[in-house]
């Protein structure tokens, strides 16, 4: 065998071997993709919320898909988590820095916001109210325009940050006060 055919054969083998390395079967994009909402002061993180964003898709959400009066993971997939980088005041209580799960109990007029000490959990299936750190109620407001994708945003407030959550035709907001 001459050098040229051996080189071609080796090149052919290497090409198809390396091609297998790059042609992996990656998972498709999640139907409720994860997102992160981060609030910084002068490039220093203060609050971070990690959540999944389900879509409306012409469904009735609150009162049907997400029943009123029942604990909801506040998003999709894994339970939403909220991380405080320093001590804050939430629902009138002092909350130490750390990561928590953020649950809610939606209602037509008001929601109960729940901070739970068990941060890593799937949905609300293993939710344990004995691990609640704080619960408080906030008013629910109706929107004039539908919100297609569940969304969370944070905006500066006089003594901290206001967390706003919206989906379908509902908005709720709660304050996080910095100490």
Mean pLDDT, residues 57-66: 94
Give pLDDT, residue 126: 87
* Per-residue model confidence (pLDDT) at position 46: 95
Residue 6 has pLDDT above 80, yes or no: no
Grade residue 169 by pLDDT with cuts at 50, 70 and 90. very high
Whether the predicted pLDDT of 157 surpasses 60: yes
168: left (phi over 0), alpha (psi -120 to 50) or beta: left
- Residue 154 parent element (H or E): strand 132-157
Q: Give the pLDDT score at 4.
A: 58
Q: Between residues 160 and 3, which one has the greater pLDDT?
A: 160
The predicted-structure confidence for 8-25, as pLDDT tens digits, reads as follows 555 555 555 555 555 578
- State how far the Cα of 15 lies from the Cα of 55, in Å rounded to an integer: 42
This prediction's pTM: 0.83
Per-residue pLDDT tens over the stretch 76-86: 999 999 999 99
Whole-number Å distance between alpha carbons of 15 and 127 = 50
Q: β-strands 160-178, 98-105: how paired?
A: unpaired
**Spatial separation of the C-alpha atoms in residues 105 and 6, rounded to whole Å:** 69
Sign of the dihedral through C-alpha 141, 144, 149, 155: negative
Mean pLDDT (the chain) is 89
3-state secondary structure of 118: coil
- Alpha-carbon distance of 69 to 36, in angstroms, equals 27
Specify the range with the lowest mean pLDDT, choosing from 23-32, 123-132, 141-150. Answer: 23-32
pLDDT above 90: residue 123: no
Q: For the sheet containing 81-84, what is the strand order?
A: 34-41, 44-52, 81-84, 98-105, 110-116, 132-157, 160-178, 88-90, 93-95
């Amino acid at each position: 065998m001459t050098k040229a055919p051996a080189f071609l054969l080796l090149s052919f083998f290497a090409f198809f071997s390396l091609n297998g390395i790059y042609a992996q079967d990656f998972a498709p994009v999640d139907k409720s993709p994860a997102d992160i909402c981060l609030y910084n002061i002068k490039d220093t993180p203060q609050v971070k919320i990690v959540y999944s964003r389900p879509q409306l898709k012409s469904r009735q959400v609150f009162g049907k898909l997400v029943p009123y009066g029942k604990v909801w993971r506040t998003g999709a997939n894994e339970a939403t988590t909220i991380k405080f980088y320093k001590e804050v005041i939430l629902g009138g209580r002092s909350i130490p820095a750390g990561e928590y799960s953020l649950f809610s109990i939606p209602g037509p007029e008001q929601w109960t916001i729940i901070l739970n000490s068990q941060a890593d959990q799937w949905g609300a299936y293993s939710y344990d109210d004995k691990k609640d750190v704080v619960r408080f109620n906030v008013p629910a407001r109706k929107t004039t325009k539908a919100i297609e994708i569940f969304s969370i945003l944070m905006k500066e407030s006089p003594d901290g940050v206001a967390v706003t959550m919206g989906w379908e035709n509902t908005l709720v907001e709660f304050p996080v006060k910095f100490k």
